[in-house]
Structure 1
Amino acid sequence: MARMIKDAEIVNCDAQLLRLEGDGSFAELPASGLVIVPLAQYLAQKTALISRGDVGVWFAPDDEPESLGADAASLTLIAVEFPAFTDGRGFSIGRLLRERFGFVGELRAFGDVFKDTMGYLKRCGFNAFVVNSDKNLEDALLGLNDFPEAYQTGLDQQQPLFRRRT
């Protein structure tokens, strides 16, 4: 079973990520178990997926959090794909889901995720990370604390440094 980082601990990855088929059709849902479906599939099959339970939604970099809107607050898992190190749109998606749409559940980053990005992802509200399989998971975990102080506010620190100084 694959492993990941969640809430600063290494745990087993408990969900199956479904992708669109090659022809663009939706993937077939397994009979049971936690699944993470693409945003388009969730929007098209929302009623059936909600009644099924055990479902999360994943965002591609070009998906808009506004299309999920208030439904974000009712989900327990949202994943955001980072297809390349140079693609930072997922940082904004995570922050918007937390701040504007009231998402409080597990916010999972997957794709090109590694130690150097973990602290920044945490500042944007991510609390779960599926690290590249060619990277050391224990080493990546250390990335959550690479920078113990930040000057500006973030989802992990609500006051700027000058206000926290005594």
Structure 2
Amino acid sequence: MNTLIRNGQVVEDGWQWIDADEALPAARLETGGRLLLPLALWLAHRASLDPARAGVWLGPDDELESVLPWLADMPLIAIRFPVFTDGRGYSLARLLRNRHGYRGELRAVGDVLRDQLYFLHHCGFDAFLLRADQLPHEALAAFRDYSWEPVTGRRVSPSM
């Protein structure tokens, strides 16, 4: 089981990641496991999935519009960063939160580094599955690395 950061806490991940080239594990469906499925697999099996136990992960090339009709029922959307320099996931998160009102867990996965956490959080992510060489307990400090001064001149630190 993976360890991730969710809402400022290091926790165990209770979701099973399904890769894009994997088949849907029928045994996990029958036992009530929570599955995090690639968009194409989620769309193909959506009608037979328990909405509370099926999340979807989006790659940088996936069409966000494909999931919009079901946002209210989705407990988890993960956005995969194939490389840390790929910024498309930031835009997807911002669109999901601000334009489309998504309120479920929004998780950054893939090549996610400590140095990105502050900025990912400000785009709407509330959960982070870090790259294997990154330590979640040490990465928590990233949320305190920066502060900014808005036009009022009052210093603001991030809340996490």
Instruction: Give the TM bin, normalised by the shorter chain.
Output: 0.7 to 0.9
Determine whether 1:162 maps to 2:159.
no
- Deviation track 1:12-34 (CA, whole Å, cap 9, x = no partner) reads 1110011122xxx6433413211
Identical pairs, percent: 39
- Answer whether contact 2:84 2:113 (CA < 8 A) is retained: no
**Do the aligned partners of residues 164 and 105 (structure 1) sit closer, same or farther apart at CA in structure 2, a change above 3 Å counting?**
farther
Instruction: Determine the C-alpha separation between the residues in 1 that align with 2:58 and 2:87.
Output: 13
* CA displacement at 1:115 relative to structure 2: 0.8
31-40 vs 55-64, which moves further: 31-40
Instruction: Determine the C-alpha separation between the residues in 2 that align with 1:90 and 1:115.
Output: 16
Q: What is aligned with 1:106?
A: 105
- Deviation track 1:10-65 (CA, whole Å, cap 9, x = no partner) reads 001110011122xxx643341321111111112222111146x4111100110121
Q: What is aligned with 1:57?
A: 56
Q: What is aligned with 1:4?
A: 4
Instruction: Determine the C-alpha separation between the residues in 1 that align with 2:70 and 2:153.
Output: 35
Q: What is aligned with 1:155?
A: none
Determine whether 1:33 maps to 2:33.
yes
Q: TM-score, normalised by structure 1?
A: 0.83
Give unpaired runs (5+ residues) of structure 2. 156-160
Instruction: Determine the C-alpha separation between the residues in 2 that align with 1:116 and 1:63.
Output: 25
- Answer whether contact 2:16 2:34 (CA < 8 A) is retained: yes
- Answer whether contact 1:70 1:101 (CA < 8 A) is retained: no
124-133 vs 68-77, which moves further: 68-77
Q: TM-score, normalised by structure 2?
A: 0.86
Amino acid at match of 1:40: A
- Answer whether contact 1:73 1:101 (CA < 8 A) is retained: no
Amino acid at match of 1:162: V
- For these two proteins, the number of residue pairs brought into alignment is 152
Q: What is aligned with 1:16?
A: 16
Give unpaired runs (5+ residues) of structure 1. 152-160
**Do the aligned partners of residues 98 and 164 (structure 1) sit closer, same or farther apart at CA in structure 2, a change above 3 Å counting?**
farther
Amino acid at match of 1:61: P
* CA displacement at 1:163 relative to structure 2: 4.7
Instruction: Determine the C-alpha separation between the residues in 1 that align with 2:36 and 2:86.
Output: 21
Q: What is aligned with 1:127?
A: 126
Give the RMSD, CA atoms, in angstroms.
1.9
* CA displacement at 1:164 relative to structure 2: 7.2
Match of 1:45, SS state, is helix
Instruction: Determine the C-alpha separation between the residues in 2 that align with 1:3 and 1:148.
Output: 27
Instruction: Determine the C-alpha separation between the residues in 1 that align with 2:85 and 2:123.
Output: 17
